[in-house]
Structure 1
Amino acid sequence: MKIEAFLLAMVLILAAPFLLWRLLGLERFFPIVVVQIVSGILLGPGVLGRAFPGYYAAVFTPEAVGALGGIASWAVMIFVALAGIELDMHAAWNDRRESFITAGLALGTPLLCGSVAGACLLAFDGWIGADASAPQFVLGVGMACAVTALPILVLLMERLGILHAPLGQRILRYASVDDVVIWAVLALILVDWSRLAAQACFLLAFPLAAFAFRGLMRRFGEDDRWFAVLVWIPVCAVAADVAGLHFMVGAFLAGAVVDAGWLGRTRLDAMRHDVLLAFMPVFFLSTGLRTHWSMSGRAVLLATAALLLASVGGKLIGARLAAKVLRWPVLEGRIVGWLLQTKALIMIIFASVLLDRAIISAATFTALLLMAVASTMLTVPVVAPLLARLRHAERSHACRATVASVPAELPDRRARRYA
């Protein structure tokens, strides 16, 4: 491999998103990760490869793409494991009625809407993968529409200033419950009946291995725990892959059995930031290289629009139903729905697994990828004014409550002063 091609590809991968993000002033609306995903698509064969085929072939040689693919696989394994580590199921269980009602409706409604969209795509050639059955395809597309990107949700809520507020913590609980269900459904989709014995062995052996691993972790100091986790992740990933499940399922399970407190919250946040900064852009480029425009661009865009409608509309309907059951203000239900419909990374990872297993075609993957980008880009511009209205309503309510608490016998002048 010519190292120059690999290094030039790395320069493009790291520089292009940052320049777009800064020069266009996009930092006011999106975290850089959203721009990195878009840049990965622009640097792929459907855009850069079509506009400048000679330059594209010179930079993204087969050897360079292979090296980038190895970095991307390691990056996404760490990232998915971190998503598993950061799950907070204890908090969700403490408020289980609210958490499970909201998470169930916010997952089930877009799953149903997305499954309907997937069933409609089945009526046309070129969307289902070569190795998929119709139920696998429909369930896979439906779940892709129902995914919430928990790590990106954290970044967006941090930008909106509600991450540590009660509303932000509630939304994290709902997303955590959904995350567990999403990976469980993915494992169900990937069940290979010809390798059912191997997959059953993995699922039976994993709890025993996790029990032993957790026992070791309790004996280690924090630094040693980090080394142990970095070994544990690829061990679980390769075991899952050999069993016929995808290596990302193994990576998620590896993280899910690790307590975040063992590794330190500050170091976990720094690790997530560093992985997003230094390694995940390579995964976004690798994702962009897999986009496929052999079908007409109009067909892909129409499919994207249908999937976006199912995804966003399903989340908003589900959150509205939860708000009605739990008697939230309507405005609060809309905020919850818009934040939970954030797709970005986890949906892209989910769709990548489906593409790897030939459950969806490259055209479907492209439509899902565009849907994920659009849904994530909509979040901050829509939620920011809704939050401003909610805060204004809360201030008005607090002011009215203060006035109402003034004793009736106080003179009007003092009552006005309280108001």
Structure 2
Amino acid sequence: MSEHQTLLFLMQLTALLLVGTSMSHLARRVGLPGVVGELLSGVVLGPTVLRHLSPATFAWMWPPDNSQPQLLDAVSTFGVLLFIGMSSAHLDLRMMRRRPRTVLSVSTAALVLPFGLGVATGLLLPGRLLGSHADRSSFALLIGVVMGVSAIPVIAKTLTDLGMLHSDVGQLTLAAAAGEDVVAWIVLSLVTAMTAGALKVGHIVSSVGHLLLFLAVVIAARPLLRGALGRAEKAEGSGPVIAITVVAILAASAGSQSLGLESALGAFAVGCLLSSPSRETTVRLASLRTVTLSVFAPIFLAGAGLRVDLSVLGDPGTSAAAAVVLSLAVGGKFAGAYLGARLGRLTHWEGLALGAGLNARGAVEVVVATIGLRLGVLSPAMYSIVVLVAVLTSVMAAPALRWTMARVDHRAEEHSRAIELAAWSDRASVPTDPAQN
């Protein structure tokens, strides 16, 4: 790194964290969760606002040099892996085991219906939205993935900001999103193989085999991680517990990535291994959770918003395509989640709340769009549409969740889960009614 690269890198981090934190605070002041402000801060600092207000400042802050964004992406990747790991640690696996039918029905329906709509949409969208290396089949599959995914980091942050992470609906939303995204990443790997002309039956079998192998290793590693944390608890201070946790998250992420799976899957798996930890481990990890939510999450979410360029909507054809994709993405996810919830014997309002939470696509969709653009499957205009949908669905999730959850009946075990969750933070009290937060 040259001196200028170092200076620019530090300025970028400063701007993202400062503006993200400020807009997060502003969002809370007007009754929205902080994640909304953090996502929109990237839009303000990106080509949509800053480039039009001060082209010279934008060109200096965000140069087109490929090496510079990679520095920011590295920090964001590290931060989002920690964020996913800490967020998934709040999953109540005991409830998941008690309600497997509900989790399976919600995750399946909330993926299959929007995925099918996405494939159909991809087959009908104008050819000018296809990338330079795309055929219609790979493009349609990628649009299916775009509409089918949910963003675990954004969902977890939204639920945390609203004080709903401990609710049954919050737990089911995270579990369903995890199931959806595992399938979506496998389909994305098939799209990559199709683009390279290497898709064969063996590739599909290999992807499924790698997933099963990874899950088997994770399950076998649970006693080892618990034992290491138990020994670390005897040491003075929080350092050993935090270090072991971060090493586990990074190692599992590297393992899943090496098998052709998404690295986020490894972080999520470690978080699940950490679910229902001892109170001593929970207390010692509280500082890691605070830094992750207060520093890394704003940088990551603001960085996702940087990729949005709303100027492409000036073209009527692109605007019409964006409206169609957004409508089908939102409607398909709501309908699929609601259908799955009703099949899983949940109430009307619980079904709508699940649809609201799972609609947040956030930076996961941005990652998919980035891969699609790099492979030449998406055109720049289609890339902007996909990122716009990611941001808008993430912004919509918060008010929709607040409205629907206010009408959901809450159970006594949710309060017990809230008490456990409070140990992860510096909150002085535990909410008595999640719908009021």
Flag whether TM exceeds 0.5 (same fold).
yes
Is the Cα contact below 8 Å between 1:335 and 1:383 reproduced in 2?
yes
Aligned length: 386
Give the letter for the 1:388 counterpart.
Answer: A
Counterpart among 276, 285, 288 of residue 271 in structure 1 = 288
CA offset digits 1:148-184 (Å, max 9, x no partner) = 2233333433444443334443444433433433333
Deviations 1:391-410 (A, max 9, x none): 59xxxxxxxxxxxxxxxxxx
Q: CA deviation at 1:131?
A: 4.0
Partner Cα separation in structure 2 for residue 58 and residue 167 of structure 1: 44
Shifted more, 46-55 versus 383-392: the winner is 383-392
Q: Equivalent of 1:19, from 19, 22, 42?
A: 22
Change in Cα spacing, 1:228 to 1:205, as seen in structure 2 (3 Å) is farther
**Contact 1:130-1:359 within 8 A present in 2 as well:** yes
Measured in 2, the distance between the counterparts of 1:266 and 1:351 equals 38
Percent sequence identity over aligned pairs: 26
In 2, the alpha carbon distance for the partners of 1:98 and 1:290 equals 36
Q: Which residue of 1 aligns with 2:107?
A: 103
In structure 2, the partner of 1:253 is 266
Give how far 1:188 is off.
3.7
Task: Give the whole-Å Cα distance in 2 for the aligned partners of 1:165 and 1:280.
Answer: 22
1:278-302 per-position Cα deviation (integer Å, ceiling 9, x unaligned) = 2344334543454456855334443
Contact 1:292–1:363, Cα closer than 8 Å, also in 2: no
Task: Point out the structure with max Rg over C-alpha.
Answer: 1
After TM superposition, give the deviation of residue 8 of structure 1 in Å: 2.9
How far apart are 1:142 and its partner, in Å? 1.7
Determine whether 1:7 maps to 2:25. no
Q: Is the 8 A contact 1:233 1:251 kept in 2?
A: no
- Distance in 2, matches of 1:131 and 1:266, equals 51
CA distance in 2 between counterparts of 1:327 and 1:284 reads 34
Equivalence for 2:322: 304
Q: Kindly indicate whether residue 159 of structure 2 is the aligned counterpart of residue 145 of structure 1.
A: no
Cα deviation, residue 313, structure 1: 0.6
For structure 1, the residue ranges without an aligned partner over 5 or more in a row are 393-419
Residue 53 of structure 1, CA deviation: 1.6
For residue 225 of structure 2, what is the aligned residue in structure 1?
217
Q: 1:154 to 1:55 in 2, by over 3 A?
A: closer
> Which residue of 2 is the match for residue 416 of structure 1?
none
Correspondence 1:128 to 2:142: no
Extract unaligned runs of 5+ from structure 2.
233-239, 411-437
Residues 70 and 383 (structure 1 numbering): CA distance in 2 closer, same or farther, change over 3 Å? Answer: closer
Instruction: Give, in angstroms, the shift of residue 4 of structure 1.
Output: 3.7
- Superposed, 1:245-394 pairs within 5 Å as 245=260, 249-253=262-266, 255-256=268-269, 259-261=273-275, 264-266=281-283, 270-291=287-308, 295=312, 297-298=314-315, 299-326=317-344, 328-390=346-408
Q: 1:146: Cα distance to partner? A: 2.1
Whether the 8 Å contact between 1:89 and 1:177 is mirrored in structure 2 is: no
Match of 1:30 among 29, 32, 55: 32
Distance 1:35 1:279 in 2: 15
Structure 1 residue 85: Cα displacement: 5.7
1:240-277, Cα deviation, whole Å (9 max, x unpaired): 6677x47xx13423542561146944556653442242
Deviations for 1:29-76, whole angstroms, at most 9, x for unmatched residues? 332222222221222234322432211222334465443233223323
User: Using the alignment, how far apart are the partners of 2:403 and 2:215 within structure 1?
Assistant: 45
User: Are residue 69 (structure 1) and residue 73 (structure 2) matched?
Assistant: yes
1:165 corresponds to which residue? 167
TM-score by length of 2: 0.72
TM-superposed CA distance for 1:309, in Å, is 1.0
* Cα distance change, pair 69–387 in 1 and its aligned pair in 2 (3 A): closer
Between the aligned partners of 2:57 and 2:174, the Cα distance in structure 1 is: 43
CA distance in 1 between partners of 2:163 and 2:223 (Å): 38
Cα separation, partners in 2 of 1:232 and 1:21, compared to 1, 3 Å: closer
SS in 2 for 1:377: helix
TM-score of the aligned structures, taking structure 1 as reference length: 0.75
Among candidates 113, 120, 123, match of residue 119 of structure 1: 123
- How far apart in 2 are the matches of 1:252 and 1:378? 25
Aligned counterparts of 1:278 and 1:325: Cα–Cα separation in 2: 40
Aligned partners of 2:285, 2:187: CA distance in 1, in Å? 27
| Matched-pair contact (CA < 8 Å) for 1:110–1:314 | yes
Partner Cα distance (1:330, 1:207) in 2: 34
Deviates more, 1:186-195 or 1:277-286: 186-195
Tell me how large the CA RMSD over aligned residues is.
Answer: 3.8
